[in-house]
Amino acid sequence: MTEAVTPPSPSPSDPPSEALPPEKPGGSSADSADSAPSENAITPADIRDGAAVALLVGVAGVLLGALWVWLAPRVQYVSNGEAVFLRNTESEGRIGSDGTFLLLSAGLGALSAVAVFLWRRRGGVPLVIGLGVGSVFAALVGWRVGLWLGPTSDLVVAAGKAGKGVPFDAPMQLLAYGVLLGWPMVAILVHLGLTAVWGPKDPPAAEPWAGAYTTPDGLLPRPPQD
């Protein structure tokens, strides 16, 4: 006669076995996580947005050049018929010209950052790169447009047109080329600040075993609470 054999019950001293997470149909959970697209991946649309931002911000440099010519204090020369001299040697117009360019660049940089943030709140690396490249280009465009719209740089021709002893405006000039970095620096800082405060936040990561509890046989899902 065959005797029935009862499997031994687990002893409390035995270590609990580890429960493995259930596998999803069609593959393991790790394979499905690897095959899922990342939310932070750069798409062609993001690259197009960054290029559009760079182009539009760069074109805005024309406005910087026009405002610089209009608002910057003027330096005047005077000719005695043989040479050209500064009309007022103690004038701070040259320094004021640099300061005006810097203030205008900072203001336009902040406005461009706000406009880009309102257009694409999600931000992204291509958008920030496009804003930075466009801001550098805008500062250079504003500088060259200001030189072009301002008085002529040929002092001989200008002195001849003005006449002897008649003051005339000096050409636009930047003494400190570091002011060209005002627009890109302000634009990047303001945009990063807006994104950090009001940008979309990532959802908190869930604990892998937040709904499980431990038993002598391993980890089991926590039963629903009534």
* Model pLDDT, residue 66: 97
For the chain, percent of residues with pLDDT exceeding 90 = 46
Rounded-to-10 torsion of CA 211, 212, 213, 218? 180
* Model pLDDT, residue 65: 97
- Determine the Cα–Cα distance for residues 188 and 128; give it in Å rounded to an integer: 7
Give kind and range of the element (H or E) at residue 65: helix 61-71
pTM metric for this prediction: 0.72
How crowded is residue 105: how many other Cβ atoms within 10 Å of its Cβ? 28
* Model pLDDT, residue 30: 44
* Model pLDDT, residue 209: 53
- Closest CA relative to residue 176, chosen from 95, 109, 104, 108: 95
* 76 bridge partner residues: 169
* Model pLDDT, residue 88: 79
First to last CA, the chain: 51
Q: What is the pLDDT tens value at each position of the chain, 226 positions in all?
A: 445 555 555 555 555 544 445 555 544 444 444 444 455 688 999 999 999 999 999 999 999 999 999 999 988 888 887 788 788 776 677 889 999 999 999 999 999 999 999 998 888 899 999 999 999 999 999 999 999 999 988 888 888 888 888 888 889 999 999 999 999 999 999 999 999 998 777 666 655 555 555 555 555 555 566 5
CA distance readout (Å), 82 to 79, 85, 97, 155, 178? 7, 10, 28, 12, 35
* Model pLDDT, residue 28: 45
